Structure 1
Amino acid sequence: MTISLSNQLLTRTPLFFKNLEPTTNHKHPSSSIVKCKKHEFRNRNPTVNPQSIKASPEDTHTLMHLNDFIEPDLTRMSFDESLYVLECMVKMGYKPDVAVCTRLIKGFFTVKKAEKAVKVMELLEKFGEPNVVTYNAMITGFCKMNRVREANRVLNRMRIRGISPDVITYTIIIECLCGRGKLGLALKVLDQMKEERNCEPDVVTYTILMEATLRGGDIGGAMKLLDEMLSRGLEPNIYTYNTILKGLCRKGMMDHAYELIRSLPARGCRPDVISYNTLLRAWVNSGDGDGGEKLLKEMVARGVQPNIQTYNLVLIRLCGKGMLDQAYKFIRSFPARGCKPNVISYNILLGALLDRGNWDDREKLVKEMLSTGCEPTVVTYSILLISLCRDGELNEAMKLLQIMVEIGITPDTYVYTPLIRASCKEGRLDLAIDLLDEMVSNGCSPNTLNYNVILSAMCKDGHADLAVDTFEKLCETGCLQDVSAFNSMLSVLWNIGERTKALNMVLRMIDKGIDPNEFTYCTLVSCLCKGGMVDEAMVLLKDMESCSFPPNVYIYNIILLGYCKSQRLDEAIGVFEEMIAKGCQPNEKTYIILINGFGFQGWRDEAIELGTTLFQMNVISSKSLLGLKKTFLKHQPGVVGKRSINVIAREKYSG
């Protein structure tokens, strides 16, 4: 049964409006009937005839709780309900409140309902007055969903309405571009910022740019940004310095990282536990002797208290080196160091045990974990499930999944992913699909990887058309919206010989407004070279550069391999020279590809001689040289065509 809400009731329930005052005369004890304290700022349009709204009793209850929405806790009214009430109030002629509408826009983007956010903005633009904060919320939402074209349209509409972008607007755009690997465009936005009045880039802006620059391995570029930042009177904060530390560690420049962290007090900034944890993490990956223990001592000496993350990093190192006895001793020393092991600590050790097949020690460790008050988490079970699936014990893994559910632990994506992958690997596609359905029914949203594994299995099982149709349906429902999903389908379809379908995937991606990323180009280059279409791959290489995606050594190696397999060594050497000229550092695989190219073209002795020369120059390892000698045992005369690469290598590595 529906009731007609009178104008009197609606005028007392002005959602999205300011200066509301609760009445003391209400009949329903759980309702907050509110009335307007002032009306003049609402600009109610006298020419608009309020409409009679048909609503159910539940809708009436929603309208009676309008004031709940403007409180920080939005749990009592859903975003969809709030949008409904906003539409009702606009029909009554009320002017929406910009602050509450902005919060609603953010809420819709949080739950991936961009179209609803657009609807709120349309109502606000038509009947209210959006401000720069509202537009920033829209731009942020679209950028996080990788819908950059829509973000640009919002930016243009913002300018048309006479609202100037502020530093936050530009920083949002810069962060989005950096996140998509388009640093060159982000730097152009920075230049535009500097030309704008009252829109100076701040510490956050520069830190984001430095982080992206360092992620690309350009230490010099990051230092230039730091110098520019200082010249503009901006003081770096600890987050800025930690970003630089991370970049130095990523490049293996540990000495420079140590020097920087020790110079921070003189720069007016004290290193924190994150600073030292960054160095420790690099030490874990580098294998540098007892550097971790030295760092721990230095931290304490400088008054920085190690935290549980610090000790867990050391534990990861010990387990990674197979030093399980020392790991046991170290975890038991935590209390003496002023820190209690947590479930993550035990999970690290449990994972190391199971990686080495120590299932018997598993029970001992779990008992010790429970005795310290640490309850197994979903991660603990995930570690066990991964080990079972890796060892081919899928049925046992399914039993463990059932136990998890029975004791009240909700499986997450990390639990289902190895199970789905193992099911597909064993050809049990029906089980994989059942697990996917179970994920959804348990409130666990499948990720792109889950879908990709099943779609790949469909393709390899001879059901490419079904996989493409399923993929399209998933895209329509919003389950697959990112570039990685398209990259995966592109690669799988090409590898099973469905080249036309693979290339159509790229067209579909562009049509949906999803821009290719670096991995898209890598996938296409790899596919083209595997298909003998090296010239087409070279055209794509040039296209990459024009789109601000400089080819890396991985892509160059793919093209070199394609040329060598086609016995086009002169062109391979030309590409080799080009990559060096463009500052792309060849790796050991680069040289092995070229040496193999000479050898398989008949110049076996020359290939071994070149390999020996490069080994003496510490360019390739002894293991690689031994592999070359085993490959090219037979002597066949040939033209000594290796000189150009030999000369280039000597010029590169002789200082």
Structure 2
Amino acid sequence: MVSTLSLAPFFSLSPSASQYQYQYQSPSPFPFASHRGLCLVCYVSPPSNSQSDRPYPWRQPHWKGMPEKEEKRGRWKADAISDQEAIHQFDQLLALKNLRQINQYLKDYTKFSSNPLSTAFSLFTRLIQAKGISPNEYTYEILMDCCAQINQVNLLFGLLGRFLKEGCRANVMIFSPILKGLCWEKRTDEAATIVLNKMPKLGCIPNVVSYSILINGLCKKGEIEKAMDFVDVMISKGHEPNVVTYNTLIKGLCKNGKIKKALDFLDVMISKRHEPDVVTYSTLIDGLCKNGDIEKAVDFVDVMISKGHEPNVVTYNTLIDGLCKNGDFEKAMDFVDVMISKGHEPDIVTYNTLIKGLCRNGEIEKALDFLDVMISKRHEPDVVTYSTLIDGLCKKSEMEKALKFLDLMISKGHDPDVVTYSTVIDGLCKNGDIEKAVDFVDVMISKGHEPNVVTYNTLIDGLCKNGDFEKAMDFVDVMISKGHEPDIVTYNTLIKGLCKNGEIEKAMDFVEVMISKGHEPDVVTYNTLIDGLCKNGEIEKAMDFVDVMISKGHEPDIVTYNTLIDGLCKNGEIERALNFVDVMILKGHEPNFVTYNTLIDGLCKNGQIEKALNFLDVMISKGYDSDVFTYKNLINGLKKGGIE
């Protein structure tokens, strides 16, 4: 049985609902809210003698009867107790008519409740129904903060309407949760309107916090230019950006790859006498690492230390990750040693980063050794650890070991996610075990994980490579029926499968379908078609596609040129192939190992041994080692020329 608490007149109740809910009801006095009065259902479960009935049985109640008053801090203690006990104790506080203690109770109790919003409004109902005491601005701030934490933006507007209706004076703290909620929902235009127009109209002048929330929302949405404009607006209104504002902008710029601008803002920050903190430096180090500027990132650690800011675990993990991604594992390990010497023990993130770095480098055995070290340091492998190792093993075609790790992962209570299953499916496909890959899709679904676009693309690619185009198309149909629209990768995979099968016309038809679905062909699409046409001996058509490619704003890359050179060589058009090498260099693409081997093969087959040997010399001088294929071509060419 549940007991229903009403919050009249602002909220209405529905005893049939199983959880709180809200709907529009009566107009709110708040002039700019599109969300009017709301209705909420608050349910409070009666006390139970069974501990298992608690949502979180490990939370033990500490109160026995009346809440104890903390002598030193003068606060009522709050802890995880039943909702019915909470109501009883709250009623006792109401009898004392001490609003400060009531607000503190409301704030503390909602932190521990399994359903904070329902609890908060249940207690708030009793407060507004009590005689001789009314909620104040701080009471509303507590409720609005509670709504913001679980992203109930609609309720925030409703509360603001009631707040103003009761004659309370609007303040920045009341608007902050609304701004946070709107920004979280990416409704930054509405948030901007509130800051620029609505707050001032209500006599509430936005402060640094208001602007910083909005700037943070704009940065997270990727609207960096707008965020920077608001910094100017903020300054024009007499509010100097603080460290938090600068850190927000620097983070936004780094995430959007604008490292130079981020560093410029660092200079501005320092010139305004705002000392960069650990967050500033860690953000810049992360941005530099992701931008591939590892040396500068390492230098920033030295700058950071020289300024009296000791790097923390996050800083070291960021740098270690950057070094691992850059293939500099030894230096990454040096920083692990530095980290430990500074009193920072490597955490699960550190170990996962190192394991990922080793797996990416193909050093699976070393990665498994690190797993043992990690466990010995009492860090239990998590989903990331297992998924990383499974991915590494799949890429090394060690599918048996990968599947054993999947079983181990499940036995340890870690539920594989979509990424893990997609990784295994990809490994099975690349290993040629298509049937098992298809079976794994069924296993994945049975475990409650719906395949995503990546999963379907992986399976479609495997089927196409296996020559089973019909089954690949069946999975495209399944994909669409599950609400996943094929993306550019899907279409490129299908086009590649058809080209490899020599079905160029069908591949061309798929390009038309792709365009009709709003997907413009990219470099991969054009390269695939050009390769298919070249292999089909249709060189001129391939050349036409190069022109189309350029006209659509896609510059041919090294793959395009190598494909055309190979096609021309195989078609016996050696001079034309050599001319394309000149064009390629002119366009800023240096010939690579594939280019030289293709030319040497073509020249040898055309009997131009001397030219082939010259290209071998050039190839070696450029730092490319010749392989078995190179010498095999030369030997065959020499034999053809009558030289044994």
Is this a same-fold pair by TM over 0.5?
yes
Which of 144, 152, 171 is matched with 1:97 structurally?
171
User: Does 2:257 match 1:252?
Assistant: no
What residue is the counterpart of 1:189 in the other structure? 265
Match of 1:150 in 2: 226
Partner of 1:397: 475
* SS, match of residue 224 in structure 1: helix
Distance in structure 2 (CA, Å) of the matches to 1:423 and 1:610: 38
The aligned amino acid for 2:215 is: I
How many equivalent residue pairs? 484
Q: Report the counterpart of residue 416 of structure 1 in structure 2.
A: 484
Q: Distance in 1 between matches of 2:409 and 2:476?
A: 35
**What SS is found at the alignment partner of 1:416?**
coil
Aligned counterpart for 1:375 among listed residues 438, 442, 447: 447
The residue aligned with 1:622 is 627
What amino acid is aligned across from residue 235 of structure 1 in structure 2?
A: E
In the alignment, which of 133, 139, 146 is matched to residue 72 of structure 1? 146
1:298 corresponds to which of 373, 395, 419 = 373
Question: C-alpha distance in 2, partners of 1:203/1:136?
Answer: 19
> Counterparts of 1:133 and 1:29 in 2: how far apart (Å)?
30
CA distance in 2, matches of 1:321, 1:222: 32
| Alpha-carbon distance, 1:215 to partner | 2.1
> Structure 2 length normalisation: TM-score?
0.58
1:44-66 CA-partner distances (Å, limit 9, x unpaired) = xxxxxxxxxxxxxxxxxxxxx98
Give the match for residue 415 of structure 2: 342
CA contact (8 A) 1:32 1:66 kept: no
2:327 counterpart SS class: coil
> Counterpart of 1:314 in 2: which secondary structure?
helix
CA displacement 1:318-371 (0-9 Å, x = unmatched): 222222223344445568xx934533466644443344453554698789999x
2:285 maps to 1:210 = yes
Q: Which amino acid is 2:412 matched to?
A: C
- The partner residue of 1:461 within 485, 499, 512 is 512
Give structure 1 stretches of 5+ with no counterpart. Answer: 8-12, 43-64, 406-410, 428-455, 472-487, 497-525, 538-553, 580-585, 637-655
Shift of 1:166: 0.9
Match of 2:183 among 84, 109, 129: 109
The whole-number CA distance in structure 2 between the counterparts of 1:388 and 1:98 is 54
How large is the Cα RMSD of the aligned pairs?
5.9
Q: Which residue of 1 aligns with 2:572?
A: none
Question: How far apart are residue 258 of structure 1 and its match?
Answer: 2.3
Note closer, same or farther for the CA distance 1:81–1:120 as it changes in structure 2 (3 Å cut): farther
Q: Classify the secondary structure of the residue corresponding to 2:147.
A: coil
1:282 aligns with 2:357: yes
Q: Distance in 1 between matches of 2:392 and 2:309?
A: 38
* 1:631–1:103 distance in 2 versus 1, CA, 3 Å: farther
1:424–1:594 distance in 2 versus 1, CA, 3 Å = closer
1:324-339 equivalences in 2 (<5 Å): 324-332=399-407, 339=412
Quote the Cα distance in structure 1 between the aligned partners of 2:177 and 2:508: 42
Alpha-carbon distance in 2 for matches of 1:182, 1:381:
30
Given residue 363 of structure 2, which amino acid in structure 1 is its aligned partner? D
Given the superposition, is the C-alpha separation of residues 248 and 595 from structure 1 closer, same or farther in structure 2, using an over 3 Å criterion?
A: farther
Query: Does the residue aligned with 1:129 lie in a helix, a strand or coil?
Result: coil
Match of 2:309 in 1: 234
Q: 1:220 to 1:630 in 2, by over 3 A?
A: farther
Contact 2:28 2:37 (8 Å CA) reproduced: no
Write the distance in 1 (CA, Å) between the matches of 2:456 and 2:509. 27
2: distance between equivalents of 1:591 and 1:69? 67
2:397 to 319, 322, 325: 322
TM-score w.r.t. structure 1 length? 0.57
TM-aligned CA deviation for residue 227 of structure 1: 0.7
Counterpart in the other structure of 1:387: 459
- Whether the 8 Å contact between 1:347 and 1:383 is mirrored in structure 2 is yes
Q: Which amino acid aligns with 2:275?
A: E
Higher-Rg member (1/2)? 2
Q: Whose relative contact order is higher, 1 or 2, with alpha carbons under 8 Å and at least 6 apart?
A: 1
Equivalent residue for 1:310? Answer: 385
Q: State the match for 2:74 in structure 1.
A: none
Distance in 1 separating the partners of 2:348 and 2:164? 52
- 2:395 counterpart letter in structure 1: G
SS of corresponding position for 2:371? helix
**2-structure distance, mates of 1:215, 1:533:** 30
Per-residue CA distance 1:98-119 (angstroms, 9 max, x = gap): 1232221222222232221122
Residue 165 of structure 1, CA deviation: 0.6
CA contact (8 A) 1:389 1:397 kept: no
Closer, same or farther: CA 627–66 of 1 in aligned 2, 3 Å: farther
Q: Distance in 1 between matches of 2:585 and 2:488?
A: 44
**SS of equivalent to 1:274:** helix
Instruction: Go from structure 1 to structure 2 and tell me whether the alpha carbon gap of 1:30 and 1:119 turns closer, same or farther (over 3 Å shift).
Output: farther
Q: Percent identity?
A: 21
Mapped to 1, the partners of 2:182 and 2:489 lie a distance apart of 33
Q: Which blocks of at least 5 consecutive residues in structure 2 are unaligned? A: 1-24, 31-35, 39-98, 104-121, 464-468, 496-506, 528-544, 565-575
Of the structure 1 ranges 163-172 and 225-234, higher mean CA displacement relative to structure 2 is found in 163-172
* Matched residue type, 1:615: I
